[in-house]
Amino acid sequence: MSLPEAAKEVFYRTLSPELKEKLGQKNLGLDFRTLDRAVARGGDIKYIDFRKDWSPHFKRLCIMPDGRLVETGGLEEFAQLHDITTVQAKALVEQGGTLEVGGEVLACQIVNGQPAVARFSAKNYAKAKELVASRGLHLMDALSEVGYNDPVMMRGLIRKELAGGR
């Protein structure tokens, strides 16, 4: 068996039973009527970029105010973590922007078509709003600057980087 064939076998064997079942179905088990027209007109779907649809099968990281990197899979899990509705979560990760949550702010920036999410404490949110007022920055730029200058928030990213991005 060639190396690519062996890799494919290992990949399929490690998939969850739910995903194995979907791979065997037409349109990967998706309801054809709910698909975007551009996708639906292409015929049978063979591939989904789970990163773009915020699938429960693809874990994403969110930087928390205390520096933890928390993984969530799917909009429902993301919404539960932040105590927001699924509709709010979907809008945030598809369009980017900010959402106030209990005095803190949840910020999502779309980078290369992919959402990057961080939650900022009330203190850091206030600092960012000061930068918006004093320097005329966009709120997302101000939050980025505050986050990069906060050693607690950056702790998780630094550990991740030192671990080789895992």
Paired with 97 in beta bridges are 108
Mean pLDDT (whole number) for 15-38 = 72
State pTM to two decimals: 0.64
Query: Bridge-partner residues for 71, per DSSP?
Result: 61
Structural domain spans, the chain = 3-48, 53-162
CB 125 within 8 A of CB 105: yes
The residue whose two tokens read 């910020």 is 107
pLDDT band at 21 (very low <50, low <70, confident <90, very high): confident
Taking 70 as the threshold, does the pLDDT of residue 36 lie above it? no
- Residues in contact with 76: Cβ distance below 8 Å, sequence separation at least 6, in sequence order: 56, 86
pLDDT tens digits, residue range 48-107? 655 555 666 667 788 888 888 888 888 889 999 999 999 999 899 888 899 999 889 999
